[in-house]
């Protein structure tokens, strides 16, 4: 579990290096802001203010623009997220096959609402418009694994194996 105290630690050095590398890679590329933010989020798990400021300086663009882009897209996060990201599909096919009940079941089990993270940082609960696995509706994704044909109980049970 990563420390949330906000002070510098040893692994910050490695993260800084990775970020610098990503910024060097996109130095001469047009439209680099979004790919850099994506890589930065890969490295840090979310986008801390200092990182966004650093990216703005590196690309010579106003911080307000970076912040504007980050808050526009659903994929970017300003707060730390859990180790396991649960994304419950809210697509049409899932909706008519009971996705909202699955969401309520998981939400009740974890005790967090939409976009909430459990105290122990084990899970973050999110929804997604459509995962494109409509044949298996209702569906959820935990990290990169897709789970289909869910019931509220089955969904809650599936989460056990993600530490």
Partner 1 sequence: MKNLMDKCCDKCTHTAFFPCKDYIKCRKEGPICHQDEACKQKRADFLGDIHLAADSDKRQVLICAGTGCNSSGSGRLVKKLQEELAANGLADKIKIKITGCHGFCEQGPLMIIEPLKTFYTRVDENDVAEIVAKDLIGGELVERLLYKDPNTVETAKTYETVPFYARQKRLVLHNCGHINPEELSDYVASDGYFGLTRALFEKTPDQVVEEVKTSGLRGRGGAGFPTGMKWGFVKQAQGDKKYVVCNADEGDPGAFMDRSVLEGDPHAVLEGMAICGYAVGADEGYLYVRAEYPLAIQRLKIAIAQAEEYGVLGDNIMNSGFSFHLKIKAGAGAFVCGEETALLTSIEGNRGMPRVRPPFPANSGLWGKPTCLNNVETFANVPQILRNGGAWYASMGTEKSKGTKIFALTGKVNNTGLVEVAMGMTMRDIIFAIGGGIPGGKKFKAVQIGGPSGGCLPDELLDLSVDYDSLTSAGAMMGSGGLVVMDETTCMVDIARYFLTFTQSESCGKCTPCREGTTRMLEILTRICNGEGKMEDIDTLDRITRVVKNTALCGLGQTCPNPIISTLRYFKDEYIAHIQEKRCPAGACTALLTYTINAEKCKGCGKCLRSCPAEAITGEKKQPHVIDAAKCIKCGSCITGCKFNAIERG
Site residues for partner 1 per CB under 8 A = 30-35, 37-38, 65, 68-69, 72-76, 90-93, 95-97, 101, 128-137, 139, 144-148
We find the least distance from the C-beta atom of residue 12 to partner 1, in angstroms, to be 25
Q: Which residues pair with 141 in a beta bridge?
A: 87, 146
> How much is the CA Rg of the chain, to the nearest whole Å?
18
Closer CB to partner 1, 18 or 59, in the complex: 59
We find the least distance from the C-beta atom of residue 24 to partner 1, in angstroms, to be 17
User: Does residue 70 contact residue 108 with C-beta atoms inside 8 Å?
Assistant: no
∠ Cα 41 46 49 (to 5°): 105
We find the least distance from the C-beta atom of residue 65 to partner 1, in angstroms, to be 8
Closer CB to partner 1, 69 or 121, in the complex: 69
We find the least distance from the C-beta atom of residue 56 to partner 1, in angstroms, to be 12
Q: Judging by beta carbons within 10 Å of its beta carbon (0-12, 13-18, 19+), is residue 10 exposed, middle or buried? A: exposed
Closer CB to partner 1, 12 or 145, in the complex: 145
Instruction: Give the H or E element holding residue 152.
Output: helix 152-158
Closer CB to partner 1, 14 or 63, in the complex: 63
């Amino acid at each position: 579990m990563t420390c949330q105290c906000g002070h510098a630690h040893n692994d910050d050095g490695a993260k800084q290096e990775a970020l610098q590398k990503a910024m060097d890679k996109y130095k001469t590329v047009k439209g680099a802001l979004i790919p850099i933010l994506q890589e930065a989020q890969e490295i840090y798990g979310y986008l801390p203010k200092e990182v966004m400021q650093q990216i703005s300086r590196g690309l010579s663009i106003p911080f307000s623009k970076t912040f504007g882009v980050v808050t526009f897209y659903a994929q970017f996060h300003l707060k730390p997220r859990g180790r396991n990201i649960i994304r419950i599909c809210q697509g049409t096919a899932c909706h008519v096959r009971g996705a909202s009940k699955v969401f309520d079941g998981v939400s009740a089990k974890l005790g967090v609402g939409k976009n909430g993270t459990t105290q122990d940082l084990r899970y973050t609960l999110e929804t997604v418009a459509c995962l494109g696995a409509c044949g298996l509706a209702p569906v959820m994704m935990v990290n990169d694994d897709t789970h289909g044909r869910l019931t509220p109980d089955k969904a809650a049970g599936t989460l056990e194996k993600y530490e």
